[in-house]
Amino acid sequence: MDRRQFLTLSPARSRNTAAARTISGITAYTGQWGTQQLIHLLKRTLFGVTPADVNALKGLSMQQVVDILLTPQSDPAPPVNDYGVDSTGVAPGAAWNRAPKGDETLEDNRIASYKAWWVGQMLAQQRSIHEKMVLFWHNHFVTETSMVKDSRYIYQYNLTLRQNALGNFKALTKAVTLDPAMLVYLNGYLNSKGAADENYARELHELFTVGKGPDSHYTEDDVKATARVLTGFRVDPVNIVSTFNTTQHDITNKTFSSFYLNKVISGKTGPDGATELDDLLNIIFAQPEVAKFICRKIYRFFVYYDIDDATEQNVIAPLADVFRTSGYDIKVVLNTLFTSDHFFDPLNMACLIKSPADFCIGICREFSVKFPTDYPGQYKIWSSFHRAAALMLQNLGDPPLVAGWDAYYQEPSFHELWINTDTLPKRNQLSDALIGDNGFNSVHIDPMAFAAQLPNPSNPIALVADSLDILYRVGVSDNVKDFLKTTILLTGQQSDYYWTNAWNNYVNNPNDMQAKSDVHIRLQALYKYIMDLSEYQLS
């Protein structure tokens, strides 16, 4: 499949790749603030947008909505035993996150439980960017369950990301560095004086802080010095915390390159050796490349994948200045971006392909799909959606590499990598199953309940337009709208009253099976058709 052809927009929205895509910047947006802009903001910051979300927020100002979106959520209840027999004594329905580690089979079961639980948190998100930021940081500070292999560490790592997702980036970096899952994943727990392990040290520079941009010039000696700073950290498998072994810490001085202003960390003895990590982070975070690198990643995740020279100058550089000036406050940089002229530039709307997580979670949320209320049923269906996303190339909990999923960094295609001849049919199969009579593993879309939330479902013109406003981020032609109305809702009839009468007959006679069927069949066909078009893949 030609992904670029798949995403071809109308001539009015085509992009001139030879020049700057747009010259808008991070000055405060003062343009129209209406339903279109609200849905754009919500689609980028939430997994799917419901009519209820729009109705609840449309009377608020842009800043009021952004404030709500940047409000952190409280920690959720931990995952539970949905797998049955647990050799460590965890009862069915009880949390396993503080239990002793199990054998390989038990750990596999718990990891599956964790992955299902995480999908459940995404589905239950409030009107907050928090869940999406957990995914963002999971892709940035990558760990893989298949390599950590201890479900308790894996769950605790999710909490580390969750508790710092909207806090301070420097504090998050420190928390990640000391997290048991990361210490295991990148061999930090093996890092000792005389035998320094450079795995985490290398990724701390290359992938987590200053990156590999054109102005990032850290050296191999910086990696080696960093590894020596980090010697001695270990994992307590009982309390699931990191510890510091003073006998395994390199107490010699560590000298850094001119990129880091030739700074020297004086070797420390005893428990004070652990504070060398703070000295290290102070040196790294004084380098302006940190803010620029993170702002580029935020930009590609929430705005658009292509950062041309104009975007680097007008958006990334000033946004990075805001980030640094704030002391690396994540909410401050997100607020600046989401209230900027650039974010609401029409060229930045409907230009991202939904990730598998966005697609699978979003489709359930925007149609308010009902899930079982008992935990065995919940975990079963949550696991099904996790598998569906994994088949579409996004296995939550197990990115393919320490660099994360290819679509977030792999030039030149970036997010176009989500769509190919294998994954697009899988997306269509999931949406077809959900809207079909049999549903997807016992859950289904109720098209009538969705339509009933819209302002004027008895009017076929309004019903089509309002449905597209929620489900699409790119406009469609009048011919497509007319097809949806005339061919599907009116089944070839010419009078709009044909649909109006059918809808009103159903509303007035909800127990009349024929009246219900007349409406259900047409709405089912309408939403199936809408979700099968390529426009539904765009955010």
Position 19 scores a pLDDT of 77
Residues in Cβ contact with 240 at an 8 Å cutoff, skipping those fewer than 6 apart: 98, 152, 153, 156, 180
Q: What is the pLDDT of residues 247-293, one digit of tens each?
A: 999 999 999 999 999 999 999 999 999 999 999 999 999 999 999 99
Q: What is the pLDDT along the chain (539 residues), one digit of tens a residue?
A: 333 344 444 333 333 444 799 999 999 999 999 999 999 999 999 999 999 999 999 999 999 999 999 999 999 999 999 999 999 999 999 999 999 999 999 999 999 999 999 999 999 999 999 999 999 999 999 999 999 999 999 999 999 999 999 999 999 999 999 999 999 999 999 999 999 999 999 999 999 999 999 999 999 999 999 999 999 999 999 999 999 999 999 999 999 999 999 999 999 999 999 999 999 999 999 999 999 999 999 999 999 999 999 999 999 999 999 999 999 999 999 999 999 999 999 999 999 999 999 999 999 999 999 999 999 999 999 999 999 999 999 999 999 999 999 999 999 999 999 999 999 999 999 999 999 999 999 999 999 999 999 999 999 999 999 999 999 998 899 999 999 999 999 999 989 999 999 999 999 999 999 999 999 999 999 999 999 999 999 99
Position 1 scores a pLDDT of 35
User: How many CB atoms are closer than 10 A to CB 134?
Assistant: 23
- Which two structure tokens, joined as six digits, stand for 133? 């930021």
- Which two structure tokens, joined as six digits, stand for 533? 């078009």
Does any domain span residue 473? yes
Describe the crossing of helices 317-325 and 330-338 by its angle, rounded to 10 degrees: 140
Q: What is the pTM of this model?
A: 0.95
Nearest to 133 by CA among 100, 158, 99, 98: 158
Domain residues for the domain of 451 are 446-537
Based on DSSP, count helices (H) and strands (E) in the chain, helices before strands.
25, 4
3-state secondary structure of 266: coil
Distance CA 250, CA 273 (A): 8
Which residues, in sequence order, are bridge partners of residue 538? 353
Dihedral pair phi/psi, residue 340, rounded to 5°:
-90, 160
Distance CA 530, CA 539 (A): 14
Position 9 scores a pLDDT of 40
Phi-psi label, residue 218: left if phi above 0, alpha if psi -120 to 50, beta otherwise: beta
Does any domain span residue 502? yes
Distance CA 293, CA 529 (A): 40
Distance CA 74, CA 166 (A): 12
- Which two structure tokens, joined as six digits, stand for 156? 């605790």
Does any domain span residue 514? yes
Does any domain span residue 454? yes
Does any domain span residue 485? yes
- Which two structure tokens, joined as six digits, stand for 153? 């560490």
Total domain count, the chain: 1
- Exposed e or buried b for every residue in 5-28, given b needs 16+ CB within 10 A? eebeeeeeeeeeeeeebbebbbee
Distance CA 303, CA 315 (A): 11
- Which two structure tokens, joined as six digits, stand for 200? 């985490």
Does any domain span residue 162? no
- Which two structure tokens, joined as six digits, stand for 185? 């994943």
Residues in Cβ contact with 224 at an 8 Å cutoff, skipping those fewer than 6 apart: 196, 198, 201
- Exposed e or buried b for every residue in 398-408, given b needs 16+ CB within 10 A? bbeebbbbbbb
Q: What is the DSSP string of 84-104?
A: S--TT-PPTTSB-TTSPP--H
Q: Which residue is it, tokens 């909800």?
A: 510
Position 314 scores a pLDDT of 98
Does any domain span residue 369? no
- Which two structure tokens, joined as six digits, stand for 5? 């052809």
Position 8 scores a pLDDT of 45
Does any domain span residue 49? no
